[in-house]
Amino acid sequence: MVVETRNLTKKNRVRELDLVVREGEIYGFLGPNGAGKTTTLKMLLGLVKPSAGTIRIFGESLGKRRSAILRQIGALIESPSYYGHLTGLENLRVVQRLRGVPDRNVEEALRIVRLEKHRDKKAEAYSLGMKQRLGIAMALVAFPRLLILDEPTNGLDPAGMEEIRELIRTLPGRYGMTVLLSSHLLGEIEQIATSVGIINEGRMVFQGSLDSLRARSRGEIRIATGDNDAAQSLLLEHGYRPVAAGGRLVFGPLADREVAAINRLLVSRDIPVIRIEERRRSLEDMFLDLTGRERSLQCGS
C-alpha cells in the first residue's frame, strides 16, 4: 500500500477518512469544492496536522518518518508554487538543491513538461499553463514514488488540460510512479484515474475502482401502459412500489423475473403494456447523488 489513512480527521474539514492508494495506480480524489480534498492532501504531506487518525505512507508512519517519506513524494498543492523573480530553470534548481537530486533530473523534468524552450524566462512572465507545467516539473524533479497533484488542470484551456492529462496518464508506466490526483471534475477523473475516492463534506462516500462505481449504477425500470392509474393500483396491491412520473410507472432496480411477472400481471388484467424500458443511471447521476445535487460538483470537463 502506498497511502493508507485510518479515521483521518481534521476538525470541521475532514471526518474519519480511510483512504487507500495502491502502488502504480492513478487514484482520483474527487469531490466538490470545499469537500476537504486539499486539507486531506496537506495532511498527507505533513503541512496540516490531523486532529485524529493515522497516516501510513509506504508502510511507515508519517509522524515518525517524515523526512524519509517526503523524500519519496513530489507534490503540487493548491496552486503551482514558484519564485517569480527566478527563471524556470532556477526554480527547478531550488527544488533540486532542497531535495539533493542530480542535475540531470532538472533537464529531464523540463523535457517531460515541454518547458525546455522557456527555461531561461522568469517564472512571473509564464502563462498560467506554463506555471502549471512548471509546478508539475517541480513535483517531478526528484522522480518520486508518489506524486500528489491537487487540481493540476485548474485554470487551463481544454488543450492545456488534455496535455496535462496525457502527461499524467504516462507517469506510472514510464517512471513507476503512483499518482494521487484531486479534482472536482468528474470527466477528468474518468479519463485518467484507475481508482477513485469520492469525498463530500469531509467524508469518504465512495472508494474503489471506476468499474465498481459503474457497477453500482443500477438501472431503474420504467413501464408505460394504456392505463397507468389502474396499473399502479394493481401493482401496489401486489406489493410492488411503482411511482408515476412522466407518463411512466417507475420502479427501482428489478430482477428479470420480476419484470416478467409484472408484465404477466398487467396483461392478465387487460391493461395494455406499451413499453418496458431500463434506464441506467449515468456516472454523473451517481456522483451527484453521492455528493448532493445542490453542491458545486461539475460533471463536465
Partner 1 sequence: MKRSLSAEWLKLRHSRIGLVLAALPAVSVLIGCANFALNRDVLTNGWYSLWTQVSLFYGEFFLPILIAIVCAYLCRLEHLNGNWNLVLSAPVPVAGIFLAKWITAALLILIAQALFMALYGAAGLLLGLPGPFPAETAGWALRGWCAGLTVGALQLGLSLRIRSFAVPVGFALAAVLAGLGLYVAKLGLFFPHSLLTIGMRVLSQEPPDPRQETLFWTMNAVYALLFAAWSVSGLKVRDAGTA
List of residues contacting partner 1 (CB under 8 A):
38-39, 42, 45-49, 66-71, 73, 75, 77-86, 90, 93-95, 97-100, 122, 138
What Å distances lie between residue 5 and 72, 94, 111, 177, 230, CA to CA?
17, 31, 34, 19, 54
Closest separation in Å from C-beta 138 to partner 1: 7
Cell representation of residue 265: 400481471
Count the residues in the chain. 301
Closest separation in Å from C-beta 156 to partner 1: 17
Q: Which is nearer to partner 1, 90 or 227 (CB)?
A: 90
Closest separation in Å from C-beta 102 to partner 1: 13
CB 150 within 8 A of CB 41: yes
Closest separation in Å from C-beta 65 to partner 1: 10
d(CA 47, CA 116): 31
Cell representation of residue 166: 496525457
d(CA 282, CA 230): 31
Cα 47 → chain centroid: 21
Give me the torsion for CA of 138, 53, 13, 21, rounded to 10°.
50
Q: Which is nearer to partner 1, 65 or 214 (CB)?
A: 65
Q: Which is nearer to partner 1, 91 or 195 (CB)?
A: 91
CB 72 within 8 A of CB 144: yes
Q: Which is nearer to partner 1, 47 or 244 (CB)?
A: 47
Which segments of the chain does DSSP mark as H helices, in order? 37-44, 66-70, 88-99, 103-112, 128-140, 158-175, 186-192, 210-215, 228-237, 256-268, 283-291
Q: Which is nearer to partner 1, 56 or 93 (CB)?
A: 93
Closest separation in Å from C-beta 84 to partner 1: 7
Q: Which is nearer to partner 1, 84 or 252 (CB)?
A: 84
Q: Which is nearer to partner 1, 109 or 138 (CB)?
A: 138
Closest separation in Å from C-beta 98 to partner 1: 4
Closest separation in Å from C-beta 41 to partner 1: 10
| In the block, residue with C-alpha cell 408484465 | 263
